[in-house]
């Protein structure tokens, strides 16, 4: 069943890292802040790690949604749940025991999310979907903000939404990468209900206005 509301989760990857607290306040009307953790192993980029995420959790006016683009997720992800984050998303390609890990995240009080790189199919994971609160379909190769949206991910979003409906699952379907005023409606029509936007929000003169506009676009497209 479709979740009642579309969520806009801006990514602070495109924010000013020296002024994170102010940057968080600029998106106070968003549903959650999306924090991209990269380790220069799973992806060829390096951002921030647990100590910074713990501080973000302490000062953020809105829930924190961590996206872990890190190797050996089984080992490192549980500590992010311990930090009190609303949701922790690991990449299935970086996890050895994704079912065990999802259960651990939930047991530590976080919503459990699992991300799929563009070339990773959802179908092999059908049986474990009930273990998850959120599935993240990457619409760019993970690693960098500001990339072009991959249109060829739309059928995968559609198929995943159909699987969620068919099995009566209660879970969010998040899209991340190249989501903007130009692409968000297509994502919503295909069945996504949580939208990560980095450059489209922090590249705008007024990030809060960009959040509001994206939410309205998504909501009208979801309703179709
Ligand atoms: C990319 C990150 C995204 C990124 C999105 O690997 O996971 O969250 O910040 O940035 P935009 O919206 O600019 O594509
Ligand atoms: Zn992300």
pLDDT at 3: 44
Q: Is the pLDDT of residue 4 over 80?
A: no
Concerning whether 39 is annotated as a catalytic residue, the answer is: no
How confident is the model over 126-152, as pLDDT tens digits? 999 999 999 999 999 999 999 999 999
The 3-state DSSP class for residue 124 equals helix
Phi, psi for residue 135 in degrees, rounded to 5: -115, 130
Q: Which ligand 1 atom is at minimum distance from the Cα of 142?
A: 6
Instruction: Evaluate: CB of 178 within 6 angstroms of ligand 1.
Output: yes
Task: For the chain, give percent helix, strand, coil, nearest 5.
Answer: 45, 20, 35
Q: Which helix (H) or strand (E) holds 164?
A: helix 154-166
Q: Using most ligand atoms within 8 A of CB, pick from 144, 187, 194 the residue to mutate for ligand 1.
A: 144
Distance CA 115, CA 176 (A): 10
Q: How far is the CA of 163 from the centre of ligand 1 (A)?
A: 25
Distance CA 204, CA 26 (A): 11
Pair of tokens at residue 47: 């951002």
Pair of tokens at residue 35: 């924090």
Instruction: Name the β-bridge partners of 134.
Output: 113, 172
How confident is the model over 158-198, as pLDDT tens digits? 999 999 999 999 999 999 999 999 999 999 999 999 999 99
Instruction: Evaluate: CB of 179 within 6 angstroms of ligand 1.
Output: yes
Instruction: Evaluate: CB of 120 within 6 angstroms of ligand 1.
Output: no
Q: Which ligand 1 atom is at minimum distance from the Cα of 198?
A: 12
pLDDT at 224: 56
When the pLDDT of each residue in the chain is averaged and rounded to a whole number, the result is 96
Angle 198-130-145 (CA atoms, 0-180°, nearest 5)? 15
Q: Which ligand 1 atom is at minimum distance from the Cα of 201?
A: 12
pLDDT at 223: 64
- What is the band of 222 on the pLDDT scale with cuts at 50, 70, 90? confident
Instruction: Evaluate: CB of 136 within 6 angstroms of ligand 1.
Output: no
pLDDT at 1: 37
Concerning whether 176 is annotated as a catalytic residue, the answer is: yes
Q: How far are the Cα atoms of 17, 19, 36, 202 from residue 24, in angstroms, in the given order?
A: 10, 9, 14, 10
Distance CA 53, CA 4 (A): 29
Distance CA 181, CA 192 (A): 15
């Amino acid at each position: 069943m479709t979740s009642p509301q579309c969520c806009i989760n801006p990514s602070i990857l495109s924010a000013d890292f020296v002024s994170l607290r102010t940057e968080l306040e600029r998106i106070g009307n968003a549903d959650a802040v999306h924090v991209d953790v990269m380790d220069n192993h799973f992806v060829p980029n390096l951002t921030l790690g647990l100590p910074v995420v713990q501080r973000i959790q302490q000062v953020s006016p809105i829930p924190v949604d961590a996206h872990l683009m890190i190797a050996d997720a089984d080992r490192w992800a549980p500590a992010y749940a311990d930090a009190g984050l609303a949701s922790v998303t690991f990449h299935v390609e970086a996890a050895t025991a994704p079912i065990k890990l999802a259960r651990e995240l939930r047991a530590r009080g976080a919503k459990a999310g699992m991300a799929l790189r563009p070339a990773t199919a959802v179908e092999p994971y059908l049986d474990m979907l009930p273990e998850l609160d959120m599935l993240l379909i990457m619409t760019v190769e993970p690693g960098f903000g500001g990339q072009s949206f991959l249109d060829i991910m739309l059928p995968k979003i559609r198929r995943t939404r159909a699987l969620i409906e068919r099995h009566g699952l209660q879970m969010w379907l998040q899209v991340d990468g190249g989501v903007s005023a130009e692409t968000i409606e297509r994502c919503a029509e295909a069945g996504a209900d949580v939208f990560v936007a980095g450059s489209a929000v922090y590249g705008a003169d007024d990030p809060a206005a960009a959040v509001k506009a994206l939410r309205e676009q998504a909501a009208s497209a979801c309703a179709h």
